[in-house]
Structure 1
């Protein structure tokens, strides 16, 4: 724990007491992090949430920070006599937020290591390490002094105006603080400890297609997630609280309205254009070394510089960002398909977003993508709108012919383009086509709500999953590895994330229509393998903003409208209704 600011200057304390002023809260009165050890089946013995945050009162005229006294100063304070109190408060807030940000980025680095590099035996200890770090970061963030600083800066925020970086920092930090302050350090640490261990169990269970092994950990994750929900005031729907973690300000009803509009169209279009017979050349073999070389080549052309990016292997592809200058992409390879290229492009889209955030936001709450939906819009834009376009493959296909001559010797570029856009209902979300992908997400969105509400149990989940896949996609799931165990999200307790994938699909086409307006020759640029102008437009209009504005404000700034499924449906009808998959 850092030294308490109230302990730094005895002279100020004497003066403050004489003048009836209130010093900052000493460290000894703050909640201390303590380990919580339970088995996945053991319920928590106490409610691990703070029913309401300690809201700082509007600062009374006689309450000041010890840094703000212009009558006294000392070397330990490092505060010059007569300094501006507001600027001092802002500087102190930024210092505290930077420390919290650093702790959180260290935990992300440890999670990346766990999924990419760590030997299997390190799992149990890593879970405790992550619980400790998450708990420390949470405890430091919800410190009442942070809340007091945020309240003190309210007038500054209002005076600077909505567009100001500093006003945005205070506004975003206050929202985050008010939400985080409802959740205890113990619950935060326990959620992360169990999630870390559950991911290890999930990986083994998935490899063996053994849902029964993973189920106790899923039960425990659900129990913890319900405790988390109990920390907040009731919403229109319970799921709203989880959705807000990934798509701030959005309601479940809004997501449902979008999905209800697109679901029947996706089912109908898939039935119309599906081609069940995959060309033999799409089954390889494609040597992994050549796949990796091509993946690295493509993401480098997209804008990934190896001074700031890495591309590694993992079980479930993901992207982590530890700074705007430190982006970690992962993918997986199989010699029988080319999914690695598309997952690499997908994760590169995430990475380009994080890399493009204004560097001035580094080590602040503004230094991230604004929401998961906007983030997924970029992964899906680069993977699909760019990476499955005819123009893109007119550029890239010759490199594939050279890399895999035995497989592609008699295959034309047009045949290959049709093959990578072939529509076929399938089991695996991350490997699915553009038309059916949304149905995979909708299944998860519906089942998550039922799990959280308790209308289905984890024992019933595989059967419910398989029934939904039969109804929406017309496929019979043969084993859990290809069904309920395929995704890592429920292992890391990411309830509420899944719908943002399909929101990202929808938003990606809203953004793409604006790209085409701004860059009328964008297809010619893709065909030439030139992606710099596209990347610059996205960086200027979206990436650089980070979390400066709300997701809704950001979307409206980029597209001029709220979320709208019309461009997405128009894109699918034009591309696939025209017979691209025939």
Structure 2
């Protein structure tokens, strides 16, 4: 590479770092809004989001940046610079199709809509939130029309979260998964061997829940000098940089499982963020490959690891010590069965591994219909309840445990939901390969040593950033394309003995 090419790369990276820094500031504002911001500050925060989003858009759509990307796209670059240019060009080409006024309005409206959602959820009042959802949906449809590259409006929004994935591919995967999940769910619910529903009831102070969760996160490899844990209405992970990763959870003093598995789930996301190479921070290539791959990490830690017998061989005695007198009557075998209880439940984030996928497919179908104009917001709650009856044979008694339970639509996250189920598919296929390459993993987990798994995931996934795509990564790891059989086989192999199925 001659001096002129080197100078061009350096100029590009300066622009890239500036954009990434601006994006991180927006992330900090989001994190603050969901954790610490006073409730009355909403309108001012919305204006801040609008102003900074417009500034980010102006810099991303700069003609000079476009020319630089055009010149660099013809150069022979190394793996990381090539990925950085490719990802920036992808973002630039999408951004130039969006009017700045739309960017401003979306940022401000979604910020205000989030506050409206929090209040509506507390009051279980969908009617008060629906006008905001209509505004957000209308703006997202306008965005999708600007970005549309296929017959599907929805696909333009899906591409934000899972690049390269199509509606056709999702429909194909979900058409196989849904009947299998439904069949397994019915078998389990009809089984004579059922866990005691009241087994894990007790009094679990939030402070002790947090202390125990912190110990588990530490064992997973979470770096506290590069991260923190807080509370929020909806658990999330915010990766501002590999050295600043923030996770949240929520507590119920009657149910320690909600916060614990929430922390482990978000901790899986956090390990991915902390596992990105800080040397490449400032490049769009220093990021998670896709939300589906990101979700594979959180679901793998939450389910394949933290709901396993091996995990609790080590952690169960410590749990008993943390909550003296609350679980002394519970055996380890009964405990493991109880934390893997399968039921038709109302809340997605607390759903078991079998019914969870049905929750996701339901949301995917509804949001796809909304974006395509086939479902009006005013009809959404009825459609939600009808779908819950069809998918899980239960109906919410109020809006908070139904259509208002998730934050995503208030923040404009149409296209996000299917990545949760993709994460289960990716995660099962990845974990199958982990078992092939780390044959002593179960013994390691039972001894409380989770670091070999974290290191394997770091080498095989986290450290690669966006130098590969999602499907390419899965083929690199497993030698095969994405296949739902790994996930379905994992569920059958796990729940057949737990419930005594034939």
Shift of 1:124: 0.7
Distance of 1:574 and 1:339 partners within structure 2: 25
Distance of 1:270 and 1:352 partners within structure 2: 31
Q: Which residue of 1 aligns with 2:280?
A: 361
| Aligned match for 1:206, one of 110, 121, 128 | 121
Distance of 2:244 and 2:343 partners within structure 1: 37
Distance of 1:251 and 1:377 partners within structure 2: 19
Q: Which residue of 2 aligns with 1:314?
A: 232
SS at match of 2:147: coil
Alignment of structure 1 residues 11-22 onto 2, 5 Å: none
Alignment of structure 1 residues 73-92 onto 2, 5 Å: 84-92=3-11
Matched, 1:175 2:90: yes
Conserved? CA contact 1:172–1:548, under 8 Å: no
| Aligned match for 2:262, one of 340, 343, 351 | 343
The structure richer in helix per residue is: 2
Conserved? CA contact 1:423–1:581, under 8 Å: no
Q: Which residue of 2 aligns with 1:44?
A: none
Matched, 1:215 2:130: yes
Distance of 1:278 and 1:91 partners within structure 2: 62
Count of residue pairs brought into register by the alignment: 496
Conserved? CA contact 2:145–2:153, under 8 Å: no
SS at match of 2:378: coil
Report the TM-score when normalising by structure 2: 0.97
Question: Per the alignment, do residues 361 and 496 of structure 1 end up closer, same or farther by CA in structure 2, a change over 3 Å counting?
Answer: same
| Aligned match for 1:490, one of 401, 405, 409 | 409
Compare 378-387 and 184-193 and name the one that shifted more. Answer: 184-193
Tell me the C-alpha RMSD between the 2 structures: 1.4
Compare 429-438 and 540-549 and name the one that shifted more. Answer: 540-549
Q: Which residue of 2 aligns with 1:543?
A: 462
Distance of 1:283 and 1:144 partners within structure 2: 61
Matched, 1:302 2:233: no
Alignment of structure 1 residues 73-152 onto 2, 5 Å: 84-152=3-71
| Aligned match for 1:190, one of 100, 105, 130 | 105
Gap runs ≥5 in structure 2: none
SS at match of 1:282: coil
Shift of 1:135: 1.1
SS at match of 1:330: strand
Distance of 2:500 and 2:453 partners within structure 1: 27
Matched, 1:325 2:240: no
Distance of 1:255 and 1:437 partners within structure 2: 16
Bigger radius of gyration, 1 or 2? 1
Report the TM-score when normalising by structure 1: 0.84
Distance of 1:550 and 1:519 partners within structure 2: 24
Conserved? CA contact 2:195–2:337, under 8 Å: no
Q: Which residue of 1 aligns with 2:312?
A: 393
Q: Which residue of 2 aligns with 1:37?
A: none
Q: Which residue of 2 aligns with 1:249?
A: 164
| Aligned match for 2:425, one of 506, 515, 533 | 506
SS at match of 1:435: helix
